Structure 1
């Protein structure tokens, strides 16, 4: 309701007062849409400094946000799914029977070959050929989980910006709109996420193509619709390419099914990074100063480009380094196992190099995560990690190598990628029942213990840190 000062701020002769504004909100939120609002009300808004065209542009989004019963303050992700499926299904909704047969045969042979190259067991569910739309449906929950922290941040920033830009005399009228504006901001971000995922579905060739576990646990899949584009410039036969990609996809899916902890480990590192992001509200303010509601492309481009995301902090840079090492360790293992399993293919080396180069420049997940959560999923040390796994395989065999995935504390570290021979020496010592070779950590520990022993001598000054409830009287003569 208007306070006693309202007549000083709103002149009735302007043809618009707070009661008119309340009536406009009731029409809007009651589902009347643009048709339920008197044009005279929109004309009156301009006298209050509100752009009627911008308000009309927002109406559809506002009513869509309020049309979801029981949505509360959370993000409505239905817009993401709708947009992604619209893009993914534009070239067809089905796969030819001949293509399914081709990939079923490739998966069957790849399963046999892979069982010779790794001790990690087969999948319980048969691998499948899926459409782009199927890929969207099955991976969207993971993309949503990864992007939700940033979506919340954008929604909160929009709420704050609206509060700062609202004239003082109107703040009481819109005081209860915070949750509503959060849903508007979240819905806008969700729509952009759907667009990125939809375009991503036009590029990926398999479930593990993006480097992170986006498919359901234990599911291996290939997208025949994108298969031809991937191999167009490789100058290899389709049957060899299908066998290689099927083997690599199975290796990726087997690893994550075997190491149950690994999936959560990867997802947690990504979401931990994303939660450290705080949207720069100044970007909203700069856009508002020049925003043309008849051309909303600039707002969409702002979100898609990642311009709302500030520079990474030192903590985030460190988290990114850990994640890149983790992804390189995973994909390095997949590379080595796939190479061993496909050694019979004449062109396997050429295909492997094409896959590595594709991943080295970011792969199909690069745009998706870099623009939405500021995260580049590049396994920058993929070649070094693959060299480490090759050294381990040659030294101790596939069984000892695959055993490193049994528990999180056994998995190779970034230091092992730097020095594979130290890891090999530890594995050989463990297999022989011997104490592991000494390393820099052991030397540093010995030095600390020696310094502590030297400090425990007669004549030590009082207050040296050894006093305490467990101190005993020193029986040695002075």
Structure 2
């Protein structure tokens, strides 16, 4: 139905009053060409459609808040993405992943069988690791988590990483919007925009930025929950505990596309998670050092404002609904100063040292014991080199690519330390950040290939296969030396219901 011009203006007047909850300043609409405003905002003339649009805008304003990221929205959305459910945030469609859904459908609960298999794998991995490292391997039982549990437990760490970036980006968008708003207010019939409370673009972004970033980060974190195998895949400690963690559903997805022996793979990935936890526990300064470096880098990041302003020219700033649908991934181009490049190099070098140390000790602990160790290491290298959809999305949003550099050089460096100073000397490097080698030191290492487990001839894999099952049977039957005693009942289930979901008392180390 087509309304008259007078009816259009009356409908729009009611719409604006409803959006602003009857709090429009006196005379805010006086002198405004409401018909022109309706056209500029792309608003419908039908009263029912206007009412629905007003409800969407009210929801948007109400959910934004004053924080740079609406973490309640982010966590709720992350849980829904992690479970694979289709969701709609009021007024918004779920952002696209850029590809097919990651992993299998749903968020399967942890079965007693899966927990038992991981318990056995962790016991073996812990025993073999303790034989090659010169620090105590924490005896906390390995916990098996669902994807939703991973989201709930890691959200506090993500807050420290992304909030500084979100706050800066909201201000940059507000500045770009301000230039457009000034131009709009100079147009005939638009002089009243400032009186409506839309004259301060930064205030507008404070209202809507929390929602926009909450959606984007929630989607990225939920997608990561479908990719990560534990809490240390990125060489960052995403959970403040000495207990190692694996997500059985994600591990099953990974192994479904390979011909690896599941029992051997569980031991291998349990060993990697336990090695990470061992390092972060033995070097308590390291987690805070990493997150402080990330936060410092994020606070100094800069946007290409000329590129942002160019992209914002196509955005209708008078339509909050259209603005809330902005996708930061498509809008932001980051620039790095020389200082930022140095900071990023130092950060990624530290990550490379962590990743290569874990690879080094796990390789030495498992070589000669697991079949196809080289294939499992290569699988990790490929995942690390390419990253997943969620990692790429996060890098686009915050401008930080958590991709370690010079890992092969760092691995060679750790081998040289082991050759000259033994395991005790290797582990002493982690006593203080000043003892870590610089990027220049690592880049100066000889690049000649070393003979390690990753370069075993293919025909040797058959020999490992023949002995693996028998050795595993002997270990589980108690015919080999006992693993270190664990505190607790060893089932990794805090609340006793077998699913590993609920938090409980921290296990003793």
Shorter-normalised TM range? 0.7 to 0.9
Aligned to 1:432: none
Which stretch shows the higher mean deviation, 109-118 or 51-60?
A: 51-60
1:242 corresponds to 2:266:
yes
Structure 1 residues 324-339: aligned runs within 5 Å? 324-339=348-363
Aligned to 1:52: 43
Find 2:240's aligned residue among 216, 223, 248.
216
Aligned to 1:165: 180
Aligned to 1:319: 343
Distance 1:299 1:280, change over 3 A: farther
Post-superposition offset of 1:298:
11
**In structure 1, the residue corresponding to 2:131 is in which secondary structure?**
helix
**In structure 2, the residue corresponding to 1:117 is in which secondary structure?**
coil
Which structure has the bigger radius of gyration? 1
TM-score, normalised to structure 1, is 0.73
Check the 8 A contact 1:158/1:182 in 2, yes or no: no
Which stretch shows the higher mean deviation, 411-420 or 150-159?
A: 411-420
Distance 1:295 1:14, change over 3 A: closer
Post-superposition offset of 1:237:
0.5
Deviations 1:272-322 (A, max 9, x none): 22212234455555445445989979955x4234x4133333222222211
Check the 8 A contact 2:226/2:250 in 1, yes or no: yes
Find 2:256's aligned residue among 224, 232, 236.
232
Distance 1:150 1:58, change over 3 A: farther
Distance 1:348 1:129, change over 3 A: same
Aligned to 2:442: 417
Distance 1:61 1:325, change over 3 A: farther
Aligned to 2:125: 110
Which stretch shows the higher mean deviation, 135-144 or 286-295?
A: 286-295
User: What is the aligned-residue RMSD (CA, Å)?
Assistant: 3.5
| Alpha-carbon distance in 1 for matches of 2:134, 2:389 | 30
Find 1:200's aligned residue among 203, 220, 224.
224
Deviations 1:34-55 (A, max 9, x none): xxxxxxx997463573332699
**In structure 1, the residue corresponding to 2:41 is in which secondary structure?**
coil
| Alpha-carbon distance in 1 for matches of 2:297, 2:71 | 21
Aligned residues: 396
Aligned to 2:77: 83
Post-superposition offset of 1:61:
5.5
Distance 1:66 1:296, change over 3 A: closer
| Alpha-carbon distance in 1 for matches of 2:397, 2:301 | 11
Distance 1:156 1:124, change over 3 A: farther
| Alpha-carbon distance in 2 for matches of 1:154, 1:131 | 33
Post-superposition offset of 1:178:
4.1
| Alpha-carbon distance in 1 for matches of 2:56, 2:321 | 15
Check the 8 A contact 1:88/1:202 in 2, yes or no: yes
Check the 8 A contact 1:157/1:281 in 2, yes or no: yes
Structure 1 residues 242-261: aligned runs within 5 Å? 242-261=266-285
Distance 1:254 1:326, change over 3 A: same
TM-score, normalised to structure 2, is 0.69
Post-superposition offset of 1:336:
0.5
Find 1:66's aligned residue among 36, 59, 62.
62
Find 2:431's aligned residue among 406, 412, 430.
406
Aligned to 1:27: 18
**In structure 2, the residue corresponding to 1:49 is in which secondary structure?**
helix
